[in-house]
Amino acid sequence: MRRSRQAVPQRSIPWTTKLRRDRSLLLMTLPAVVLLVVFAYVPMLGNVIAWQDYSPYQGFVASPFVGWDNFERVFNNPLFLDAVENTLAITLFQLVFYFPVPIFLALLLNSVVSPRVRTVIQSIVYLPHFFSWVLVVTIFQQIFGGAGLINQTLRNHGVDHAVTFMTNPDTFLVLITSQSIWKDAGWGIIIFLAALSTVPPEQYEAAVMDGANRWRRMWHVTLPALRPVIVLLLILRLGDALTVGFEQLILQRDAVGAQVSEVIDTYVYYQGVIYGDWSFAAAAGLVKGVVSLALVLGANKLAHVFGEAGVYQRS
């Protein structure tokens, strides 16, 4: 967005005057800035240990620098590469099977004409988003687990096949994706519904005049209205490609085994906090952060090329 004209007269005020005029505004932002500097920016500097042989007893200052050794170890580490593979597999799976669900639900809900029914359904499907992962995993455990409701019902009806949904590595992707859908698909519709509510009814009316039936209207009016939102969310998802539900996975890592459930974040956690290989873990985490940043910026660039707004706009 271009700077608006009204900013021009203010530019002629000397900065000392502006500083004095806006001192209470600056004072207001101060606490938040301090918190961010301490807990977001200082740790960014703390990533220096990725180039060190860090030991907690020597601290950042005294630990010796070792160059790119830790990064070499990271990239030559088969377990890390497995974690990357799992991460990407989970992201891809969720993209294909989770991502369309909120769009579909939003279209369905949008076609419900009674505002009262719509509000009730919305309040219900938003709800699980506000539950913790511990709770969601526990609920799944109680229903699909070895001693859970489904297996209990099967046993009561004399079926001997136990459903091993919670512990089976082969169906792990399905498991975590269905958990994500249960928890967040309802919440995911909110932004699509908002986009749908901004479509002017005249467009539909005009489409009807041109003889469009309900499917043509959906194709030519409704879906184009959703396109910018879909692109935006895809970009955000791409930026998060290397971050998959950390709490969700760490809660279930023991049940299905690290083979399929170890992702970059859990790997970093175990190498650093549990095994104390701080420098190695910091290097692995840094690789992830940098790649993610590149993915967001790249995807946003791509969105601009295709003429969409993207996450932020060129000024």
Nearest residue to 209 (alpha-carbon basis) of 225, 112, 201: 201
Distance between CA atoms of residues 290 and 92, nearest Å: 20
- For other proteins, which stretch binds (CB under 8 A), given 63-71, 73-81, 168-176, 207-215? 207-215
Number of residues that bind other proteins (CB under 8 A): 109
- For other proteins, which stretch binds (CB under 8 A), given 5-13, 62-70, 80-88, 90-98? 5-13
For other proteins, the closer CB: 167 or 171 = 167
Residues within window 275-314 making contact with other proteins, judged by CB under 8 A = 278, 281-282, 285-286, 288-289, 292-293, 296-297, 311-314
Distance between CA atoms of residues 259 and 32, nearest Å: 41
Would you state the structure tokens that stand for residue 237, as one six-digit string?
């998802």
State which amino acid sits at residue 178.
S
Nearest residue to 66 (alpha-carbon basis) of 49, 53, 57: 53
- For other proteins, which stretch binds (CB under 8 A), given 86-94, 102-110, 167-175, 218-226? 102-110
Strand partners, 65: 52
User: What string marks each residue from 211 to 250 as x (binds other proteins by CB under 8 A) or -?
Assistant: --xx------------------------x------xx--x
Buried b (16+ CB within 10 A) or exposed e, 8-23: eeeeeeeeeeeeeeee
Residues within window 146-205 making contact with other proteins, judged by CB under 8 A = 146-149, 152, 155-156, 182, 186, 190-191, 193-194, 201, 204-205
- Please state the length of the chain: 315
Backbone Cα Rg of the chain: 25
Name which position in 87, 226, 265, 299 contacts other proteins (CB under 8 A).
Answer: 265
Give min distance, CB of 95 to other proteins, in A: 20
Give min distance, CB of 253 to other proteins, in A: 12
